Amino acid sequence: MTTGLIPGGQPPEPTGERMPHQRHEPAGPAALPSDDRPRSSVITARAAASFEPVGRSVATARSFVRDTLQGWGYADIVDDAVVLTSELVTNAVVHAGTHAEVLCLRTEDGVRIEVSDRYPEREVPLQDSAAPMGSPDRESGRGLQLCAALATRWGVDYTPTHKNVWFQLDLPARTVGTRAAGPALPADLLPLADGRVRVAVLQVDRKGTISAWNEDAEELFGFPADAVVGKPLTELAAWPHTPGTGTGIAEAFQLSRWEGTYGIRGADGRVSHVYASHLRVRDTGGEPSTVCLLVRDHERAVLQTPSRGPATDQTPSGDGQNTDPFEVFIGSPAPDDLDGLLQRTVERARDMLDGDSAFLLLATDDETELEVRASTGLPSARQRFARVPVDAGPGRYGSARMPAVHDDLAAVPGAVPLLTGTGMRSVVTVPLKVEGRLTGSLGVAAEAPGRYTNEEALRLQFAADRIALAVESARLGELERLRRGSLSFLVEASDLLAGTLDRDQTLALMAQMTVPTLATWCAVYTIADQASEPDLSYVLHEDEDLIDGIKSLLSKISPPDPVPTPGARVWTTPGEVAHQAALRSSMRSLGLTGGSTHQFASGIGPTLATASAVGGETVVLPLVARNRVIGMLTLGKPTDEHFRQEILELAEDLSRRAALALDNARLYSERTAISQALQRSLLPPGLPQIDGVEVEVIYRAAGEGNEVGGDFYDLFPIGDGAYGFAIGDVCGTGPNAAAVTGLARHALRLLAREGLSGPAVLERLNSAILDEGDRSRFLTLLYGELRPQRDGSAELKVVCAGHPLPLRLRQDGTVVAAAEPQPLLGVIEDLELYEETVTLDPGDVLLCVTDGVTERREGTRMLGDDGLADVLTTCTGLTAGAVAARIMRAVERFASDAPSDDMAILTMRVPEILPEA
């Protein structure tokens, strides 16, 4: 379907050549009236849509016309327009088999709708033809009859390529200035309001951002306009939305009109309950936005739309025919999906009885429990799929199988478990039955007591009888889709488990995929080796507040036996122990004594909520990988709930995939731990404190810790006030590179402390590297000796063997190289190296880096030595740590990709000498 909406003005002419309209008007009773619409009528809006020649297009067309007219505020003629459009589009897409084009034109007096098809070969009625238009019982051909019965004006236009049927519906006459009116009431029956009623006016743009905020809004919520304009309304709104069931705030802003209750967080942090009326509008540029009118909730009568009148069994339409009561209650078209149908049902039921909330529950297969599937007006804590028993107590008022009216729930607490703690006082509930079998329950509740009588119960039961079969049909369709969705679930689970090699993340994924899709809570036990006991590694519950209680309970009882037999087996211990602990806790709270003492009486302390959470069926599935049990997956349900067989089969398939992923993560974690331990051994344990010289090192290893080798650094005392420092880079990674790294670092310390000069140390290290033979690697190395001087300066003797040159930053901001390049190590046997002397004056900085810094790339660009020098010039007056940090930030910002090489930065700075006071 394609749609277009054009504001204001006359409809544009279609593109391309088009023949003049040919109007044919048969004589006699069935004559088609001519188009006598006044040509001076101003078209204020236009909406168009095109529909493919498939059956589902009829429902889509009905929805398009309904939404368009409701958005224009023409609710009085929506039903007639939908019926006529449905018949005409059916003729086009079903019987004629062509595309249908629907055009809606809004005028000041009503609306004109045109339905065009592309089947001009159909028989053209002639003026002298008095043939009847067909029997009303025929499957097709009723569109023109309905137009004659319902429309104010209508007609048919023909062209060589199109057949166009149009009809016009005028708005009903109303008293000038009156939209709705109520009877005169005594003063004591009028709604209560404050001394001054404040109406907050907000405007929200298409992205949900506040664009306007009036003075009354400031008074009601405490925020000035400049503090909230430009922020999303979701930051302030406490939306009463049950996840997965109701209309969220984002969806509400997309509706042409919305009315209801939610909360606004004020400047003091408190939530004020407000009643709101939303209207979606467009500005002159065509941009949509939503105007929100808000009043205090107890002043809702200022904005609230008057409730509709009582529903009747048969509602006559404009042509004297009866309308299906199902469509009267649900609306046409009915939603195709179960959730949409249930949500619209509870919303219409709430509006029909003028209630504050409504809920719908579906029965389980054995008709012993009802689970919440849709609600409106209830707190978000009333989660979907929460279960309540069908027979909660003796008598008809304790069973969902019979209609029931409760005048005041405060007098019978727990009569409707779903409403406990919601503030609802009166409620009416009716059953949904199909062929005498209970399939669900529908209820409407109000905050005031005594709101409902048997008359309202009969009206609600009538509605429930009309929708029960449609709900059951949609539920069976959903079950079939769920079965077919099991394969997609396993494919997605496999992808997620294969995407990580981290053990902890694998455990978390196992639990998160299980809860709440397969179970209410789960626990994962792992087994390190065959001689080890199962260890409780991860616990998850759909209610986070219960996780600690379940973990405490499971940690105090013996884990299940690691049996490798495939399939789920029942584990009754958690439920039994939780039940015993809850019983003892209840007895202590009542001041009762007696009963056997249990070893779990102290220390566990599971609450009644924990006992309820684990009191249902608990099953254990083995995690078997490579012919060994490496753990167990435990799934649980709350009190009195049991697993369906298809859920257990799906969980078994999941456990096989999870076991292999967990074992792969274990092997990878062991390898990573070994690699990281070796990497740490190749770096110095710490840096010495040097009087008169600031030293800072930053080291960043590339990769994920699975490779060793690469860059290294060192700083160590030599003796007699001198310190040796080195920074190097071994060619390659892995064990061979790590061997050269370890050899270089330890050899440097040993040779330097023997009193050898820098060139002699490097020449002997070069010989040692070459002695490694095939395991040898090239090595670039910057080695030097540092001696602080009494005058506050520092003397350095440096040898740069194939390494990036060290840079010296003077106090005046100039940067120069502090050494000359010489051959790298591990290539030739006879090296002739020499050392250079550099004196760092107070305030000077020496920067040493590895090639991972200078070779940082972004496409074809590279940071290089010049780029590094440019960054260093901006570091005048900074400490050694600040210089290293600024260099690292510049390197990371140079490219968006993660570094592909290790990086090491060594900075040394001689502090400035402060003048004596």
**Residue 161 tokens, joined:** 């390529």
pLDDT above 90 for 871: yes
- Of the listed ranges 354-368, 717-731, 759-773, the least confidently predicted one is 354-368
Residue length of the chain:
917
Helix, strand or coil, per DSSP, at residue 516: coil
Q: Note the pLDDT tens digit of each residue in 249-296.
A: 777 787 777 888 888 888 888 888 888 888 888 887 788 899 999 998
Contact 741, 765 (CB under 8 A): no
Give 364's pLDDT tier (boundaries 50, 70, 90): confident
The C-alpha atoms of residue 101 and residue 14 are separated, in whole angstroms, by: 12
In this prediction, residue 53 carries a pLDDT of 84
Lowest mean pLDDT among 11-20, 178-187, 573-582: 11-20
Q: Distance (Å, rounded) from C-alpha 98 to C-alpha 162?
A: 10
- Put the strands of the sheet holding 807-809 in their side by side order: 694-700, 903-909, 845-849, 807-809, 815-817
Q: What would the two tokens of residue 454 be?
A: 């048997």
% of the chain at pLDDT higher than 70: 80
Helix axes 645-681, 503-514, angle to 10 degrees: 160
Question: Nearest-5° angle of CA 638, CA 643, CA 646?
Answer: 150
Q: What's the rounded Cα separation, in Å, for the pair 363 and 640?
A: 15
Most confident of 163-167, 322-326, 606-610, 907-911: 907-911
pLDDT at 15 over 70: no
Between 365-374, 561-570, 810-819, the lowest mean confidence (pLDDT) is in: 365-374
CB-based burial label for 351 (10 Å; 0-12, 13-18, 19+): middle
Confidence (pLDDT) at 183 = 64
Contact of 452 with 405, CB cutoff 8 Å: yes
Confidence of residue 734 (pLDDT cuts 50, 70, 90): low
pLDDT digits (tens, 9 = 90+) for 448-506: 888 898 888 888 988 888 888 888 888 888 777 777 777 777 887 888 888 888 888 88
Q: Which residues contact 897 (CB under 8 A, 6 or more apart)?
A: 858
In this model, does residue 34 exceed pLDDT 70?
Answer: no
Of the ranges 146-150, 241-245, 329-333, the best mean pLDDT one: 146-150
pLDDT at 786 over 90: yes
Q: 758 near 799, Cβ under 8 Å?
A: yes
Q: What is the mean pLDDT of residues 329-357?
A: 77
Q: Residue for token digits 């040097």?
A: 690
Is the Cβ–Cβ distance between 614 and 552 less than 8 Å? no
pLDDT on residue 596: 46
pLDDT exceeds 90 at position 816: yes
Q: What is the pLDDT of residue 573?
A: 86
Across the range 767-779, mean pLDDT stands at 80
Q: Where are the beta strands (DSSP E) in 24-122?
A: 43-51, 100-107, 110-117
Interacting residues of 857 by C-beta distance below 8 A, sequence separation 6+: 863, 895
| pLDDT of 310 higher than 60 | no
| Helix runs in 789-863, H state only | 851-854
Per-residue burial over 846-872, b = 16 or more CB atoms within 10 Å of its CB, e = otherwise: bbbbbbbbbebeeeeeebeeebbbebb
Give the closest residue to 861 by CA, choosing from 894, 903, 905, 897: 894
* pLDDT band with cut points at 50, 70 and 90 for residue 873: very high
Nearest to 299 by CA among 268, 266, 276, 269: 276
Alpha-helical segments (H) within 332-453: 338-352
Strands 794-801 and 836-840: antiparallel
Question: How high is the pLDDT of residue 321?
Answer: 45
Ramachandran sector of residue 195 (left: φ over 0; alpha: ψ -120 to 50; beta: rest): alpha
Q: What is the reported pLDDT for 889?
A: 93
Most confident by average pLDDT, 97-111, 300-314, 330-344, 378-392:
97-111
Q: How confident is the model at residue 708 (pLDDT cuts 50, 70, 90)?
A: low
**Which element (helix H / strand E) includes 379?**
none
Contacts (Cβ under 8 Å, ≥6 apart) of 269: none
For 18-52, letters b (16+ CB in 10 Å) and e give eeeeeeeebeeebebeebebeeeeebebbbbbbbe
Which pLDDT value is given to residue 215?
Answer: 93
Per-residue pLDDT band at 206 (split at 50, 70, 90): confident
Instruction: Give the distance, in angstroms, between the CA of residue 912 and the centroid of all CA atoms in the same chain.
Output: 55
Determine the 3-state secondary structure of 828 from DSSP. Answer: coil
Type of residue found at 237 = A
886 has a pLDDT exceeding 60: yes
Give DSSP secondary structure letters for 555-579: HTSPPPP----SS-EE--HHHHHHH
- pLDDT exceeds 90 at position 785: yes
d(CA 157, CA 163) in angstroms, rounded, equals: 6
| Best mean pLDDT range from 21-25, 362-366, 673-677, 798-802 | 798-802
Regarding pTM above 0.85, the answer is no
Q: What is the DSSP string of 123-184?
A: PPPPTT-------TTSSS--HHHHHHHH-SEEEEEE-SS-EEEEEEEEPPP--TT-S-----
Task: Tell me which residue of 408, 403, 398, 417 sits closest to 451, measured CA to CA.
Answer: 408
The pLDDT value recorded for residue 788 is 92
Poorest-confidence range of 372-376, 557-561, 891-895?
Answer: 372-376
